[in-house]
Structure 1
Amino acid sequence: MSDSSRDTAEGAGWGEAERGAYRRLMPDHVEKLFWFDPGTMWAARNGVLASWFGDPTGRTRGRWVAGREAAGAPADKVIRRHEGERFSFMVIGDPGEGDDSQYAVVPGFLKVSQGTDFAVITSDVIYPVGTTDDYGPKFFRPYQDYPAPIYAIPGNHDWYEDLGAFMRVFCDDAPPLTPEPKPRPLTRAWWRTLLWHRPRPADEELLAQARKLRATPEQTAVQPGPYWAIDAGPVRIVGIDTGLLGTIDAEQGAWLREVSRGPRPKILVTGSPLYVDGAHHPCPIEGGGTVDDIVRDPAHHYVAAIGGDIHNYQRYPVDVDGRTIQYVVAGGGGAFMHATHTIPRVSVANVTEDDFRCYPLRGDSLAFYSRLYGRRLRLPRLLTLTAAEATAVITERLGIRPGRTPTADTPVTRRARLVATLLGTGSRPDRGSRFRLPVKKIYTQLFSPGSVSYSPPFFKCFLRLDVTPEAVRLRCFAATGNRPQELDPPVEDEIVIPLA
C-alpha cells in the first residue's frame, strides 16, 4: 500500500511527481466553471431567493414524489437488493464540476471500486445549477466504466433548476411537475415566483447520447425519488434530500421516522452533514424534531451518518448513551476543496482532537491555500508555505499532535505565523484575526469556487464500505491527481464499525 498524507509529504501529493493519466478521460474541451460570471451567479440565485422569500422545496419535492408514486414507484421508497450477507459499495460526494479535480478522482475510484455492488453520490451531482445538458460530461462520461448501478441524493445545486434533470436521470424519466397555483400579487411567494430561475430546455439528442455511456443492464439504477432507502445484505442505507437550505419537509420527516424503525442496522446518507467543522448541525424537520434525533434514537440502530456538501473528509465518533455513531463528512469527490485548517481544535459531543480525523490534514490545507493565495495575489514569496512549514505552525497554533510529523529542523517563523493568521488557521479569535483573508464563509461561498486549482495535489477523496453481518469497514481513499496515487490510492482513514 502506498504512503498516505499521514506518512510523508510525497504521500500527500507534494513534490515533483508524475501527473496522473486522468486527463485522457476528459473531453477535448472543458469549460472551466467561474462563479463570478454574471450569468452563472444569476442562474444560481434560487438558494438566496428561498432564504429571503420562503423555501418552496418541500412542496416541490412532494409533487415529484407524488408523480413517481403515480407512475408506479414503491410507496415505501425502499430499493430491495439481494447482495447476500456480504457486499461492498462506494460513496462519492459533490463530484460534478466536470474539470480536472473531478476527473482526477476517477482512476483511483475505478481501481478501488472493483468488486463493489453499487455506488452512492451524496449531494451536488452537477454544478453549477443541475442542468440536464451538463450530465454528459459531469456524470455519464466520468463514471462510464463503473460497471454497477449509481444511486444519488441531490444537493442544493441540483435543486437550482427545481430538480428536473436529477429526476430525469435517476428516477426513470419522472413525469414533469404539475404547475402550482399562482400566488397572490405582492406577497413574498409572488416575489419569489417572479424572480425564480426556471429550468432551461434540454438538448434531448445530447442527453440520449450521454445515456449510452452507462446503458448496460448492470449499470441501470432506478430510484423511487429524491429520497430513498436501500435494503442490502444486513444493513439498510437511508438517503435523505435536504433541499436548498439543509432542512427536510414534514412528509419526508414522517417517512424517515417510519423507515428508521426496526432492528436492522442503518447508515444515513445526507446532503447536509450532522457534524462538520467542529460543530453540531442536527438538521431540523418541518413541524418539529431533527434528523439527528432520529439517528440517535437507540430503537433505530443507526451506526453511521455520512454527509456531503462540504468538500473534504471529516469523521467524528460520537458516544450516544454507550454506543458509538460515526458521523462522517464525505464531500471531497470532485468540487473545489473546502479548507480544513480553519477547523478549530475539536471539542464537540465529547469528541476530542485525538478522536477526530480529517483529510486533507490541516497542515496540507494551509499549504494549499497559501500557495493559492500567493498566486492569486501575486505575493508567492510572502504567502506560500511549504507543507513542513504549514504543519509546524498548525501544530503550534492549535496545540495538537500533527497528522504527519514535521521535519525536526523546520522553524516556526514570524512569516509562517502571519500567513496562518491571515488564512484563518483554526478560526481562533486571537489577536490579529480581524485581518484574516476570506477563507471560510466568504471564501467558500464566493471566492473559492472561482479559485479552483487545476494542478495537483487536489486533495480529493472517496469512500469504500465493506459490509459483513458483523461489521462495516469504512475506508477513505485519497486522489491527488498524481500518478502514484492513481496507481495505488492511499488510505487516509479506516474504521471498523460493529453491527452487533
Structure 2
Amino acid sequence: MSDSSRNTAEGAGWGVTEHGTYRELMPQRVEKLSWLNPKTLWPARNGTLASWFGDPTGSTRSRWVAQRTAAGAPVDKVIRRDDPDRFSFMVIGDTGEGDAPQYAVVPGFLKASQDSKFTVLASDVIYPVGSSDDYGTKFYRPYQDYQAPIYAIPGNHDWYEDLGGFMRAFCDAPPLAPEPSPRPLTPAWLRSLLWHRAHPTDEQRLSEARQLRSALAQRAVQPGPYWAIDAGRLRIIGIDTGLLGTIDAEQGRWLRVVSAGDMPKILITGSPLYVDAEHHPCPIEGGGTVDEIVRDPDHHYVAAIGGDIHNYQRYPVPVDGRTIQYVVAGGGGAFMHATHTIPRVSVGHVTEDDFRCYPLRGDSLAFYSRLYGRRLRMRRFFTLTEAEATAVIARRLGIAPTRAQGQPARVTPRTRLVAALLGAARRPDRTARFRLPVRKAYTQLFSPGSATYSPPFFKCFLRLDVTPDSVRLRCFAATGNLRQELDPPVEDEVTIPLPRQGTGG
C-alpha cells in the first residue's frame, strides 16, 4: 500500500507531476462552478429564504413521502437486502460538482470498492441546485462502471429545487402536484415570491443519462429521501436534514421507531453531529435531537457519518462505557473545506490525540496559501511549503507535527503572519486580531469560487467492511495523482466492535 499523507509529503500528493487518468473519464466540456457568479448564487437562494421566512422542506418532504407510500413503497421505509454477515459497502459525501476533483475520486474508488455490495452518497449529490438536468455528468457518468446499487441522502443543495431531481433519480418519482398559493402578506407568501423553482426536466436527456447505470446489478429504488437498509446483521439509517440541517417531526418519529431494537446501527446524515471541534446534535421539530437518539444505549448505534463539510474528520466519543465514532465524510468531489482552521480538539471527551482529519492541518494551510497567493497575485509572500505549514500549525496549536520532517522548517515572522491571515487555529487562550475570511465567509463564498483544478485535490471516500463482530472503517485518499490513483492510500482506519444481538451490550 502506498504512503499516506501521515507518512510523507509525496504521500499527500506534493511534488508529484504525473497526474492520474481521471481526465479520460470526464466529458469534453466541463462547466466550472463559481460561487462568486450571480448566475450561480441567485438560483441557490432558497436556503437563505428558508432561514428568513420559514423552512417549508418539512411539508414538502411529507408530500414526497406520501407520494412514494401511495406508489407502493414500504411504509417503514426499510430496504431489506440479502447480504451475508460479512460484506462491504462504500460511503462518499458531497460529490456532484462534475469537474476534475469529482472525477479524480473515481479511479481509486472503483479500485477500492471491488466486491462491495452497495454505496451510499451522503449529502449534496448534485451542485449547485440539484437539477435533474445535471445528473448525467455529475452522477450517472462518473459512477457508470460501479456495478452495484447506489443509495443516497439529499443535502441542502439537492433541496434547492424542492428535491425534484433527487426524487426522480433515486426514487423514480414523478413531480409533485403544485401546492395551493399561501395567503397574501404572510411570511410564506413573501417566501413564495422569491422561491427558486425547478425547471421542467429534459426527459430525453435524463433517459439517455440513466442508460449509463441501467444494469440490473446497479438498480436501486429508494422508498424516499430518508430510509433504512438492513444488510447482514447491520442496520444503516439515512436521514434527510433538508435546507437548514434539521429534521421534521414526522421523520423524527420514524427515526425513533427504526432506531429501536438491539440490531447494531450506523447513521448517515447530511449534517454531521461532531464537526470542527464542535457538537451539533441536530434538532428535531417538536423536541429532542438526533444525537439523543444515537446516544440512547437501547438503540445500539456504533457510528454516525455526516456529509456537508468537505473534508474528513473522526471523533471517537465515549458514551456510557462504549465508544461511538462520529465521522465527517464530505470529501467526495466538491471544493475542499479547510482543516487548518479546526482548533485544538477538546469536545465530547475527545482530545487532540484521539482526533483524526484529512487533509492534515498543515497540508490544508499549504493548499490555501497557494490558492491565496495565486488569487491575490502575491505568490512569493503567501505560498508556504508543506514543511513550513506543518511547522507553524504545530507551533500555533502546541502539538507535535503529524508528519515527521527530515529537517523541520523554521517558523519565521512571514510564516506566522501568513498562517494568521489564513485563519490557522491557535491555542484557546489566544485569538487572531485579523484574518482573511477562511473559516466562515471564505468557505461560504470565496472557497467554492476558487476550487483548484490541479492536484493534489485532497478528496476522500470510505470503505466499511462488516463482519459479525466488527466494522472496519477506512478513509481512502484521492489526490488526482497517478500514484494515489493506482494504490489509494489509507488516511485513517478504525475497527468498531459490534454488540451481539440479544445481549443488551
TM-score, normalised relative to structure 1: 0.99
Equivalent residue letter for 1:161? E
Partner of 2:398: 399
Q: How many residues align?
A: 499
Give the distance between the partners of 2:188 and 2:202, measured in 1 at CA. 30
**8 Å contact 1:392–1:406 — kept in the other structure?**
no
Partner of 1:369: 368
Give the distance between the partners of 1:427 and 1:449, measured in 2 at CA. 25
Give the distance between the partners of 1:131 and 1:12, measured in 2 at CA. 34
Q: Secondary structure at the match of 1:167?
A: helix
Partner of 2:355: 356
User: Where in structure 2 are the equivalents of 1:210-249 lying within 5 Å?
Assistant: 210-249=209-248
Q: Which runs of 5+ in 1 are unaligned?
A: none
Partner of 2:484: 485
Instruction: Kindly state the Cα deviation for residue 313 of structure 1 after the two structures are TM-superposed.
Output: 0.2
Equivalent residue letter for 1:205? Q
Equivalent residue letter for 1:312? N
Give the distance between the partners of 1:270 and 1:70, measured in 2 at CA. 25
Give the distance between the partners of 2:217 and 2:232, measured in 1 at CA. 18
Q: Which runs of 5+ in 2 are unaligned?
A: 500-505
User: Where in structure 2 are the equivalents of 1:128-139 lying within 5 Å?
Assistant: 128-139=128-139
Partner of 1:207: 206
Q: Could you give the per-residue CA deviations for residues 15-52 of structure 1, whole angstroms, max 9, x where no partner exists? A: 03301110000000001111122121110000000000
Give the distance between the partners of 1:428 and 1:126, measured in 2 at CA. 37
**8 Å contact 1:312–1:337 — kept in the other structure?**
yes
Give the distance between the partners of 1:409 and 1:83, measured in 2 at CA. 50
Equivalent residue letter for 1:242? T
Give the distance between the partners of 1:434 and 1:131, measured in 2 at CA. 41
Q: Secondary structure at the match of 1:295?
A: helix
Partner of 1:101: 101
Equivalent residue letter for 1:121? L
- Aligned structure 1 segments of 4 or more residues deviating by more than 6 angstroms: 429-432
Q: Secondary structure at the match of 1:130?
A: coil
- C-alpha spacing 1:432/1:69, structure 2 compared with 1 (3 Å): closer
Give the distance between the partners of 2:428 and 2:316, measured in 1 at CA. 26
**8 Å contact 1:421–1:432 — kept in the other structure?**
no
Partner of 1:37: 37
Partner of 1:451: 450
Partner of 1:54: 54
User: Where in structure 2 are the equivalents of 1:201-350 lying within 5 Å?
Assistant: 201-350=200-349
**8 Å contact 1:108–1:487 — kept in the other structure?**
yes
The Cα RMSD (Å) is 1.0
Partner of 2:26: 26
User: Where in structure 2 are the equivalents of 1:189-204 lying within 5 Å?
Assistant: 189-204=188-203
Q: Could you give the per-residue CA deviations for residues 126-153 of structure 1, whole angstroms, max 9, x where no partner exists? A: 0000001100000000000000000000
Equivalent residue letter for 2:410? P
Equivalent residue letter for 2:58? G
Instruction: Kindly state the Cα deviation for residue 431 of structure 1 after the two structures are TM-superposed.
Output: 6.6
Instruction: Kindly state the Cα deviation for residue 427 of structure 1 after the two structures are TM-superposed.
Output: 5.7
TM-score, normalised relative to structure 2: 0.98
Q: Could you give the per-residue CA deviations for residues 200-246 of structure 1, whole angstroms, max 9, x where no partner exists? A: 11111111110000000000010000000000001000000000000
Q: Secondary structure at the match of 1:463?
A: strand
Partner of 1:83: 83
Partner of 1:117: 117
Partner of 2:383: 384
1:418 aligns with 2:417: yes
Q: Secondary structure at the match of 1:389?
A: helix
**8 Å contact 1:268–1:304 — kept in the other structure?**
yes
Give the distance between the partners of 1:420 and 1:409, measured in 2 at CA. 17
Q: Could you give the per-residue CA deviations for residues 450-489 of structure 1, whole angstroms, max 9, x where no partner exists? A: 0000000000000000000000000000000000000000
**8 Å contact 2:398–2:427 — kept in the other structure?**
no
Give the distance between the partners of 1:79 and 1:495, measured in 2 at CA. 27
Give the distance between the partners of 1:17 and 1:25, measured in 2 at CA. 19
